[in-house]
Amino acid sequence: MLFFSTAVSAQNFDIELLRKVNVENPAEDHFWMDVSNSIKWAPAVYVGGNLTYGLIENDKTALRYSLESSMSMGVSMLISSVLKKAVGRPRPSITYPEINSYKEPNYQSFPSSHSALTFAMTTTMAYHANGRAYISIPIFSWPIGVGYSRMRLGRHYPTDVLGGAIIGIGSGIFSHWLTGRIIK
């Protein structure tokens, strides 16, 4: 009984927070769609830029950054895809029709793959900044914005975004550790 009441309470918090974030405002929706869709080009620019520079200049550090970023994003997408199928949580607008969704709901909701991918990439980018907080801290504004956009546009619950962030950060840490063992 205690477990059931905790699960219901968590779901109530999840949907109530989503309702506060998911406000329809056509003037802002286009901006949030662009933030959400930045995952289609930003990772390719970072990985491709490092790879190209590394090959042209024979820069092993840039090549490592390219490999590490690709690995962290790949691991995060693999984990999120498996979890989406295993958990099978429906999108918010399927369960709660009053939630505004900029797109017809499809697939499963948990975890947010957008959040997982962006947090994976920025975690590896933060490692590449070698502890310089003035670089590391601002880079995380991108995945935070993407996560917010996914809720704002009605595609994910807050816990979906949180789950994606945990997967992404974990994937970035794992990939950094693994490339450190592979590449000396």
Q: Which of 183, 180, 182, 169 is nearest to 72 (CA)?
A: 169
Q: Is residue 8 part of a domain?
A: no
Using CB atoms within 10 Å of the CB of residue 133, give its burial: 0 to 12 exposed, 13 to 18 middle, 19+ buried: exposed
- Model's pTM, two decimal places? 0.90
24 in the Ramachandran plot: left (φ > 0), alpha (ψ -120 to 50) or beta?
beta
Q: Is residue 114 part of a domain?
A: yes
Q: Quote the tokens at residue 74.
A: 């790949």
User: What are 122-179's pLDDT values in tens digits?
Assistant: 999 999 898 788 988 899 999 999 999 999 999 999 999 999 999 999 999 999 999 9
d(CA 146, CA 151): 9
At 105 the pLDDT is 66
Domain span at residue 102 reads: 59-184
Q: Is residue 103 part of a domain?
A: yes
Q: Residue 173 is part of a domain; what is its CATH number? A: 1.20.144.10
Q: Is residue 97 part of a domain?
A: yes
The angle at the Cα of 92, spanning 88 to 93, to the nearest 5 degrees, equals: 120
The count of domains in the chain is 1
Q: Is residue 121 part of a domain?
A: yes
Q: Is residue 137 part of a domain?
A: yes
Q: Which of 154, 166, 131 is nearest to 33 (CA)?
A: 154
Q: Is residue 41 part of a domain?
A: no
Q: Is residue 118 part of a domain?
A: yes
pLDDT at residue 98 tops 80? yes
